[in-house]
């Protein structure tokens, strides 16, 4: 039964087209992720594996504990490059040459920009070159200071956005983060995270299309009478449909994620897995204490939970409504609704949107958002809540789909 349910999905022309779309998505995603470049000493751009290797080798020179000494050296190098004629030049090629000298410290420069920003929410690319080596000692304390200033600012800050407990939680998270960071080249992971949400979103939309027909198809093809009049038409055959749906979601999702991950990490290397996310330009403000490797795990498992939930919802609606028309729209609605409602000036809507299932498909963004919830007097970030919430809801959908369809 199970095998034939899967065969039904992929025997259709629509099923084959969907697979082709997924393959195209994977190829485009890999191509986009492989777009990193290296600028040579002449100021020319180089692309491809060889360029990536050069950039990686340069940045690896700075791997290790990012302590005051290393930061001091980095500031010295950045300011020295900025002081050269090329660093001062308005000419593109000259600027590119200066950039090529600074590629080794490029990621550290971005961290310095964050640390020494004027306030928590601004960022100036040229800030690092105006620092002195002595500034290095306040690199980590700035992070906490800027947060505290932001939380206390009634005008432009987040004074009214968080409760006292939430503010205390954020400050505690910042203060207890282990420093100095272990720093390494993380190009592979950063590129992987760049395009993962795009791949996950297209995958979930295609999966929604694929699984929407599992239940509605019997009615659409008018095969329901024979199906339900069969001995197992209201028990095992329905269960086979449910499992086939989740098996398709599982198989395709992991195939997409693992092939994409394997390609990107093979292209760039998997260095930096043990670095805290705060040691990267995107994770500097993150209040979760996790490493890059843990972020990857959250990305892919969160995406899996999101795919299971959204596809499960599609199956439930198609089983209940006996039509795929409405059900197939569910992934689109889920993905795009937050773009509209997310702007609403309502605390309740904001809190709901902070747990919206599409956030599971773009975990890097979710980890960066300051979405906090108070549960039983305890402040918790959105990520663990979402993983539990949608895990439980997905588990609840399994019997719900079964009951909705079995008559």
Instruction: State whether residue 55 is helix, strand or coil.
Output: helix
User: Structure tokens of 26?
Assistant: 């994977």
Q: How far is CA 314 from CA 20, 238, 279, 289, 291, in A?
A: 21, 16, 39, 34, 34
Kindly tell me which of 4 and 332 has the beta carbon lying closer to other proteins.
4
CA atoms of 324 and 16, how far apart (whole Å):
18
Q: How many residues bind other proteins, per CB under 8 A? A: 25
Least distance in angstroms from the C-beta of 216 to other proteins: 13
Taking CB under 8 A as the criterion, the residue among 7, 31, 137, 403 binding other proteins is 7
Kindly tell me which of 244 and 292 has the beta carbon lying closer to other proteins.
244
Nearest CA among 31, 129, 143 for reference residue 86: 129
Whether the Cβ atoms of residue 348 and residue 363 lie closer than 8 Å to each other: no
Kindly tell me which of 90 and 222 has the beta carbon lying closer to other proteins.
222
Kindly tell me which of 261 and 318 has the beta carbon lying closer to other proteins.
318
Kindly tell me which of 9 and 372 has the beta carbon lying closer to other proteins.
9
344: contact with other proteins by CB under 8 A? no
3-state secondary structure 291-321: EHHHHHHHHHHHHHHHHHHHHHHHHHHHHHH
Residue 180 region, left (φ>0) first, then alpha (ψ -120 to 50), else beta?
Answer: beta
Taking CB under 8 A as the criterion, the residue among 218, 271, 295, 358 binding other proteins is 218
Least distance in angstroms from the C-beta of 213 to other proteins: 11
| H-only helix segments in 221-291 | 224-229, 236-268
Kindly tell me which of 140 and 405 has the beta carbon lying closer to other proteins.
405
Kindly tell me which of 222 and 347 has the beta carbon lying closer to other proteins.
222
Instruction: State whether residue 183 is helix, strand or coil.
Output: strand
Instruction: Using the CB atoms, write b or e for 40-71: b if 16+ within 10 Å.
Output: eeebeeeeeeebbeebbebbeebbeebebebb
Q: Residues 9-38: x/- map of binding to other proteins (CB under 8 A)?
A: --xxx-------------------------
User: Structure tokens of 212?
Assistant: 């929407």
Nearest CA among 323, 312, 332 for reference residue 244: 312
Kindly tell me which of 93 and 236 has the beta carbon lying closer to other proteins.
236
220-259: contacts with other proteins (CB under 8 A): 221-237
Least distance in angstroms from the C-beta of 3 to other proteins: 8
CA atoms of 334 and 371, how far apart (whole Å):
18
Least distance in angstroms from the C-beta of 2 to other proteins: 9
Kindly tell me which of 71 and 244 has the beta carbon lying closer to other proteins.
244
Nearest CA among 186, 183, 196 for reference residue 52: 186
Of 3-11, 77-85, 150-158, 313-321: span binding other proteins (CB under 8 A): 3-11
Kindly tell me which of 253 and 402 has the beta carbon lying closer to other proteins.
402
Of 4-12, 72-80, 306-314, 344-352: span binding other proteins (CB under 8 A): 4-12
Least distance in angstroms from the C-beta of 240 to other proteins: 8
Least distance in angstroms from the C-beta of 57 to other proteins: 53
Least distance in angstroms from the C-beta of 237 to other proteins: 4
Of 7-15, 57-65, 269-277, 288-296: span binding other proteins (CB under 8 A): 7-15
Residue 180: is the preceding peptide bond cis (ω within 30°)? yes
CA atoms of 355 and 371, how far apart (whole Å):
8
Least distance in angstroms from the C-beta of 401 to other proteins: 17
Residues that bind other proteins (CB under 8 A): 1, 4, 7-8, 11-13, 218, 221-237
């Amino acid at each position: 039964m199970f095998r034939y349910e899967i065969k039904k999905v992929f025997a259709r022309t629509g099923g084959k087209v969907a697979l082709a779309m997924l393959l195209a998505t994977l190829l485009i995603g890999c191509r986009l992720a492989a777009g990193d470049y290296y600028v040579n000493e002449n100021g020319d751009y180089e692309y491809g594996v060889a360029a990536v290797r050069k950039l990686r080798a340069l940045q690896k020179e700075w791997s290790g504990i990012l302590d005051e000494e290393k930061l001091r050296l980095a500031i010295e190098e950045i300011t020295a490059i900025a002081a050269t004629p090329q660093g001062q030049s308005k000419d593109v090629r000259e600027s590119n040459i200066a950039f090529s000298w600074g590629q080794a410290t490029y990621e550290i420069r971005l961290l310095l920009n964050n640390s020494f920003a004027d306030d928590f929410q601004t960022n100036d690319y040229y800030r690092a070159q105006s620092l002195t080596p002595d500034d290095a000692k306040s690199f980590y304390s700035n992070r906490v200071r800027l947060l505290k200033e932001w939380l206390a600012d009634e005008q432009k800050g987040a004074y009214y956005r968080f409760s006292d407990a939430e503010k205390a939680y954020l400050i505690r998270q910042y203060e207890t983060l282990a420093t100095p960071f272990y720093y390494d080249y993380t190009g592979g992971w950063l590129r992987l995270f760049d395009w993962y949400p795009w791949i996950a979103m297209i995958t979930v939309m295609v999966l929604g299309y694929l699984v929407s027909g599992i239940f509605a198809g019997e009615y659409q093809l008018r095969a329901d009478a024979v199906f339900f009049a069969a001995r197992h038409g209201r028990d095992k055959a329905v269960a086979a449909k449910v499992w086939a749906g989740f098996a398709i979601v599982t198989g395709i999702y992991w195939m997409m994620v693992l092939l994409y991950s394997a390609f990107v990490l093979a292209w760039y290397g998997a260095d930096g897995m043990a670095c805290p996310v705060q040691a990267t330009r995107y994770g500097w403000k993150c209040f979760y204490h996790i490493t890059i490797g843990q972020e990857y795990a959250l990305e892919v498992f969160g995406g899996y939970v999101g795919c299971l939930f959204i596809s499960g919802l599609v199956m439930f609606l198609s089983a209940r409504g006996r039509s795929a028309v409405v059900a197939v729209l569910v992934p689109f609605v889920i993905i795009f609704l937050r773009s509209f409602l997310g702007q609403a000036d309502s605390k309740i809507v904001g809190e709901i949107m902070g747990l919206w299932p599409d956030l599971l498909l773009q975990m890097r963004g979710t980890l960066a958002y300051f979405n906090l919830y108070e549960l039983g007097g305890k402040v918790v970030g959105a990520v663990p809540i979402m993983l539990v919430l949608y895990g439980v809801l997905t588990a609840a959908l399994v019997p719900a789909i079964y009951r909705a369809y079995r008559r």
